């Protein structure tokens, strides 16, 4: 409680240097500094994400990506209200960008009047199904990873996330497909405005939760000196009925 209260006081120095960073993959490859607020948010997601598929199945009225994201934001906000631990952050749909007209699907804000409403972490969401353009999880005009790499999303931060809404097949199959698409881009990319590196940009598994696979990847941004880290949550929403 005391540490969470500390981050709300702008006159008190952040304690992030003395705190363990959120599970940081490939520490030799990344230059991402420990960020206490983001660590707390990601830990909250880890703790509550596995409850979402059951909640979604109990109330779903659509399989559209935007609607599922509405449900997911609502789920996280309900989890905040249902816990006794103080959590000074707000999940919100489609946060605006200061330097881009492209909006991410979900942003998280610090609830502090003295701070501008700029998300401190953003999540892109993609459906993975027979009826969607699944390769856009990685690349293309609406490509999730590509938008992060180009700075169209999250240009002001170094850690972000993606939610994959698995609506058919298995998460394992989609992970294999995603890594295949990244590998193909690293070998066949003809667009000089963006780089793809197979060995460093593939998704690798971090942990399994109930109905959720958690992975991580690190990506070069051509106009930035530092890589961007993406935490991936593939959520099994295949109907169990």
d(CA 127, CA 131): 9
More confident residue, 113 or 119: 119
Helix (H) or strand (E) holding 200, with range, is: helix 198-201
| Nearest Cα to Cα of residue 178 among 142, 227, 232 | 232
Write down the pLDDT at residue 168: 95
First CA to last CA distance, the chain: 41
Q: What tens digit of pLDDT does each residue of 153-189 get?
A: 777 888 999 999 999 999 999 999 999 999 999 998 8
Which tokens go with 18? 């003395």
Q: Which residues pair with 161 in a beta bridge?
A: 123, 231
| Segment 219-241 mean pLDDT | 85
d(CA 109, CA 37): 10
| Nearest Cα to Cα of residue 166 among 188, 200, 137 | 137
Helix axis angle for 52-59 and 65-82, nearest 10°, is: 120
Q: What tens digit of pLDDT does each residue of 10-64 get?
A: 332 332 333 334 443 443 333 344 588 999 999 999 999 999 999 999 999 999 9
């Amino acid at each position: 409680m005391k540490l969470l209260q500390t981050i709300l006081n702008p006159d008190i120095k952040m304690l992030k240097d003395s705190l363990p960073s959120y599970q940081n993959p490939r520490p030799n490859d990344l230059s991402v500094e420990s960020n206490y607020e983001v660590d707390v948010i990601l830990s909250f997601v880890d703790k509550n994400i596995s409850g979402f598929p059951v909640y979604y199945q109990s109330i779903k009225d659509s399989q559209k990506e935007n609607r599922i994201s509405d449900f997911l934001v609502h789920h996280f906000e309900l989890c905040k209200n249902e816990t006794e631990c103080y959590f000074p952050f707000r999940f919100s749909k489609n946060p605006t960008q200061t330097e881009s007209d492209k909006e991410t699907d979900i942003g998280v804000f610090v609830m502090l009047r003295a701070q501008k409403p700029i998300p401190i972490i953003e999540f892109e969401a993609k459906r993975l199904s027979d009826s969607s353009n699944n390769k856009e999880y990685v690349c293309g005009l609406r490509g999730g990873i590509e938008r992060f790499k180009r700075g169209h999303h999250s240009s002001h931060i170094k850690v972000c996330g993606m939610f994959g809404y698995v609506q058919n097949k298995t998460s394992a199959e989609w992970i294999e497909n995603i890594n295949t698409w990244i590998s193909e881009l690293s070998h066949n990319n003809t667009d000089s405005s963006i780089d793809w590196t197979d060995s460093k940009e593939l998704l690798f598994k971090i942990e399994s939760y109930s109905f959720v696979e958690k992975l991580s990847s690190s990506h070069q941004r051509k106009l930035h000196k530092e890589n961007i880290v993406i935490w991936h949550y593939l959520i099994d929403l295949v109907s169990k009925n």
